[in-house]
Amino acid sequence: MSWIIATAIFIVGICVGYIISRLTNKNQKQQTSLKKDLDKSKYELEQYRQELVDHFARSAELLDNVSKDYSKLYEHMAKTSAELMPNLPTQDNPFAQRIATLEPVENNEPIEDEVMDHQPRDYANGATGLFSDKPTAIRENEIPVAEAKAS
């Protein structure tokens, strides 16, 4: 029975020694601090990478929009130069060489003018006021105060 007590005291001594060595060991505190710093740095790096991916995705989208707008502008200039100056020699028309090679630009988003296929709500139907062809009679209660005093 004494050897069981001795073994138990030995195991308890090992546990107490381990706990004391962990609390007093500066390297353990430094390791814990370094691990926290490492985890923080990994998190910041992942955040930075995600921001970089988002930045390049947005930049690619903007560049795509710019290229579509440029293509639309070039297509417009080529068509209107051919329509407005039909007798212009080919060598003098800078767009004539590429008119045949133009591909129409597909646009998924409608332009503001295309969206509004009806009059805005603040416009009246037909001409009113000064712009109407009908003479308008002024009622007695509609005369401005300054003109009423002058009469």
Question: Which pLDDT belongs to residue 48?
Answer: 95
Q: pLDDT tens digits for 2-57?
A: 888 889 999 999 999 888 887 777 777 788 899 999 999 999 999 999 999 999 99
Higher pLDDT, 44 or 140: 44
| Single pTM value for the model | 0.42
- Measured CA to CA, the distance from residue 111 to residue 76 in angstroms comes to 15
- Measured CA to CA, the distance from residue 99 to residue 88 in angstroms comes to 14
Question: Which pLDDT belongs to residue 137?
Answer: 59
Domains of the chain: which residue ranges?
2-101
Q: pLDDT tens digits for 89-135?
A: 776 777 766 655 656 556 555 555 444 555 555 555 555 555 556 65
Backbone torsions φ then ψ of 29, nearest 5 degrees = -65, -40
